[in-house]
Amino acid sequence: EVRLVESGGGLVQAGGSLRLSCAASGFTVDDYVIGWFRQAPGKEREGVSCIVSSHGNTYYTNSVKGRFTISSDNAKNTVYLEMNSLKPEDTAVYYCARGHYVATTWERGYDFDSWGQGTQVTVSS
């Protein structure tokens, strides 16, 4: 059974940091694209970052470039999202998902077929 479990969310002040984890089971993260997405209340879901572990390629949406870092630990079959210099507008439920390739429209999430349950990130001003 394919499963993705996010953890690491919480409440943090603006300027603070959090590290999210996405623990995968039922497949190997190195064989797939793993993406992080977020959805704030009343807003559409947006892609934050994704990684192709086998190639070492990473992708970021413009609003998080220079602040967020995606990485993977193949031994733990886990993908991380290190979030620094957090802003109130980063507040959202964060989800990880599995994809098969990185499309030019990856940020829309249409090419990801398995999703975790999400973890809440709240950044206070």
CA 48: distance to chain centroid?
6
* Residues contacting residue 61 through CB under 8 Å, at least 6 positions apart: 46, 47, 48, 49, 107
Q: Which of 77, 85, 83 is nearest to 38 (CA)?
A: 83
Local confidence band at 109 (pLDDT 50, 70, 90 cut-offs): confident
Residue 20, both tokens = 């999210």
Q: Is 104 exposed, middle or buried (0-12, 13-18, 19+ CB in 10 A)?
A: exposed
| CA–CA gap between residue 79 and residue 20 (Å, rounded) | 8
Q: Phi and psi dihedrals of 107, rounded to 5? A: -65, -20
Using alpha carbons, list the distances in angstroms from residue 29 to 20, 32, 33, 37, 76: 16, 5, 7, 16, 9
Mean pLDDT of the chain: 96
pLDDT value for 110 = 87
Give tens-digit pLDDT for 53-108.
888 899 999 999 999 999 999 999 999 999 999 999 999 999 999 999 888 899 88
What average pLDDT score do residues 9-35 get? Answer: 97
